[in-house]
Each structure stands twice: as structure tokens, then as C-alpha cells.
Chain A
């Protein structure tokens, strides 16, 4: 019997899990707590410097990679949760909204990053 192509999705899911676990908490800490902390004027300047760094294209590209893989991770987990909830026979069909959603979110993130 032929080996399953699920390996491809699982590899992206796995990479996304590592990305999400490593970087997303750090992003939340930096952008949600550290940048806005303290004096308002200082925080504004700090945020502007951070935004400038994000505006550098290699940073944008790295951010997009982290976000895209995290989105696939999310979509894959949702797909398998839905399969566990009784939609197992639609496992192929579920790829469309789950990975399609991840693709749409990635394009949206790319557009946002492009504007910075």
C-alpha cells in the first residue's frame, strides 16, 4: 500500500508547533507588555524603533514564516479535532477550509507586513 501524504501536512504542523511554542509567547511578551510599559512618550519611541526594525525585509520574511507555519499548525489541529468529533470520513474535504484558512491568514499577514 502507498504511504500516506499526511506526512507533508504533519511536517508543516510539527514545524508550526515549534514556531508557535518558541516565538509566539515572546511576541506577546514584547509587543503586548514590554513595548507599551512605563512612560507613554518613551513607550511610543520604543514602539517606533521596534516598528522600524520590523520594517526591514529579512525580519518581515522571518515573521511571515513564523506566522504561516503557526497558521498551518492551527488549521491542522482544527482539522484533526473535527475528525475526532465525528467528521473522520470528511478528512479530505476538511483540508479545504483548514489549510485554505491557513493560506488566507498567511496572505492577510503578508499584506499587513507589506504595509509596514
Chain B
């Protein structure tokens, strides 16, 4: 790309290097404007041509890996899918995802998120796990449709940055983890719903959700975590009332 007669635009980037900086600051860069470019292209251009110390996560550049989620002008977005032309000629402000601790520049810590994902036991649980004598567990298209939408999550964490509850309630498991737990509960091959509900229905783990719905708005894969959470709450409510009609340990 030649820089002569090239239109440019301003990208303001959140910078923070904890080993040298007392507090975060914003740094403005002039980047070439190309209508085919996305915010991630601009960040990579800055790193390659202007400032190699800029730190950001990315991998696939095609909305599959879920690594490049950042706040773009205040909205959680996959930067590989946020086109410069939708902002040009106004400046773009890029910040790390909110509701997460910042490690360096645009990189946030995944620790809390990973703990919450693991907590919901996001794998198929069966009593007969070692018994394969009956062959594979068959599933009809209708059974697949029960959970397929919720299995499309790429763990980009945009939903956590969009959710006001995730920002102030530590106990809340958050949209992606709850949708994933619900995904396995709805899987006809799974027998682990009760174990998962023991995690999901405790304290504010799921009940912290007040159905703001922003998780579903920002989800780049149309997972609809808000819908999954409401369905999971309904299951939780059914289980609550079942206690009164069926004795404990009656296999409910």
C-alpha cells in the first residue's frame, strides 16, 4: 500500500503497560484508510509499522476464533468484523473489553471467565461413559435443533462486556457460561443436568440475570444467551416446584 494521496483516519488506542505505566492512557495513531479494512487491520498496521509494543489478541481474522473482541467506540465488537468505513471519517476509540481486568494494552485476563466456563461442566456427562457396546449415541435432527444454536459460541466474551450484571456481580456465571451449561442440559445424549443445575441455580449464579438482553444483541454468532438463560431459569423453577410433589431422590 502506498501512503501518497492515501486517506487516513485516527485510531485512539487504550495503552497500559503495568510494569512501566502508573495508569492507562490513550494514544492516537494515524492509519491508512481503506474501506476494506477492519479495526483489526488498523491495529496490526500500527503494530507492524508504527509501534511494535502495542499488544492485542487476534488469530483467525474471520469471526471464528473469538480472540479479537474489544470495545470499539464503547461497543463490544470483534475487531475483525468492525469495518473502518462504518466509522470514517470520525476517529475510532479502541479499548479492552470492559468487565475484565486488563493485562496489557488491549489484552484482558481470561482467568475468571475460564473458571466460570469450567464451573458449568461443559461436556457430556453420562453414567455409562465407558460402555460403548451399543455403538454411538444417535441423535435426531430435532434433538440436535434443541441445542445447536447454543453450541455456536466462540468464547469471544463480548457478552460479558455488554452485560451490566457481569460487571458488578462476581457470583453471576455470565451469559456464555450459562448458555453453554444450558446447551449440554438440552443435549439428548447428556445425563448431567442435575449436576449442572447444582452449580447454575446457586446464589446469583443464574438469578443475577435481569434479562437486560444486551448479550444477545452483541453476540456475533447469534447464540442468544439471554434466551438460553431464560429457558434455564424456567427449568430451575420447574425443579424447584418438583421438590414439593416428588420425594427427594425419587429420580426427578
Contacts and interface: CB of A to CB of B under 8 A. Distances in A.
Interface stretch (A3-11, A22-30, A32-40, A56-64): A3-11
Interface of A: 1-8, 10-11, 14, 80-81, 84, 88
Interface of B: 164-165, 168-169, 197-198, 201-205, 207, 210, 233-234, 236-237, 239-241
Contacts of A1: 198, 202-203
Interface of B is mostly: helix
Given A1-B202, A4-B202, A10 B210 contact: no
A29 B240 CA distance: 36
Contact of A10 (B165, B202, B204, B237): B237
B234 A8 contact: no
Most chain A CB atoms below 10 A, which of B205, B207, B239:
B207
A89 B237 CA distance: 23
Given A3-B236, A8-B240, A11-B241, 4 more contacts: A3-B201, A7-B239, A84-B168, A88-B169
Contacts of A8: 237, 240
A98 to B, nearest CB: 14
A74 to B, nearest CB: 14
Given A84-B164, A84-B210, A7 B169 contact: no
A11 B236 CA distance: 9
Nearest to A80: B210
Contact of B233 (A10, A80, A88): A10
B164 A4 contact: no
Nearest to A9: B207
Contacts of B240: 3, 5, 7-8, 11
